[in-house]
Amino acid sequence: MDEPVLLTGAGGRVGQAILHGIGDDYEWRLLDREPLPAAKVPDRVTDADRYVADITDARAVREAMAGVGAVIHLAGDPRKTAPWDSVLRNNIDGTQVVMRAAADAGVEKFAFASSNHAVGGYETEDRTPDLYRTDDDYRLDGTELPRPGNLYGVSKATGEALGRFYHDQHGMSVVCVRIGNLTKDHPPREYERGQAMWLSHRDCAHLFDRCLQADYGYEIVYGISNNDRRYYSIKRAREALGYDPADNSANYTFEGEPKAGAETNEPETGESETADAVDDAPAEPNFPSDPDTPTDGA
């Protein structure tokens, strides 16, 4: 892709995983509500390509959108306990502003960060905890109707519907990625649900790279690694996007330690402390931390 890629919410957990993995592969426009420290910005991104704005500011979003070829939209309130006034403003109104600006600017591809919470209601009492185990064959594949488990999930399901609208009405290619539980270097520790929906940092970067490179119309895919115990299917992500995840939570113990002889996503020697510290930060630095841990939103 020759045109710049606009990344909203660039300072958050998902944005940093993407930039750490493929930050040198694209020309970026970075948008966040607060100035990003230099450590969170790829070297090639100039000050002119860093936008400090709220995604509900239509004029600022249009300015950042001018001339881009694709959008990865991550910005919003990531708290699964977020109140309605916040998800309405930041996740629904904000997503509408960004999608409308993208359509008006003739953007070709739009990747929307949806969430596992858009379908959290399928995790019923009679299905769990067996749902999170390898001997259970129940799968969600993206063709099912949304079934939000909280108001945050409602906002993500609404974003998926907006994406469908802008694809149908404006021909923009839209992919909605229902992100699982993103952690770096190891799956969530001692958390069965999180290990079933683990998304490693390198698989996250690879998945969004495929969102930028593949040809598609409108898609809903699940953003998780190649976990043995998954209850989300990644078949459509493979078929529509060419997603080929490298990591598997089965290669780690329940405590999150690599199993002997297993190929794991261990940090490379000399990796920066800044990169290692990403998981210690809130999912999105512009909102209060969610009291529920570990983080499994997007």
Which residues are the active-site residues? 152
Pair of tokens at residue 237: 């992500």
Beta-bridge mates of residue 8: 31, 73
The answer to whether 114 is a known ligand-binding residue is: no
CB 121 within 8 A of CB 215: no
Backbone angles phi and psi of 113, in degrees to 5? -80, 95
The answer to whether 115 is a known ligand-binding residue is: yes
Neighbour tally for 239: CB within 10 Å? 13
CB 143 within 8 A of CB 134: no
Enumerate long-range contacts of 54-62, CB under 8 Å, 24 or more apart.
54/94, 55/8, 55/31, 55/90, 55/94, 55/95, 55/97, 55/98, 56/89, 56/90, 56/93, 56/94, 56/97, 57/97, 58/97, 58/100, 58/101, 61/31, 61/97, 61/98, 61/101, 62/101, 62/104, 62/105
CB 13 within 8 A of CB 284: yes
The answer to whether 184 is a known ligand-binding residue is: no
Coil, strand or helix at 263: coil
Q: Which residues define the annotated binding site for NAD(+)?
A: 90, 115, 152, 156
- Sequence ranges of the binding site: 90, 115, 152, 156
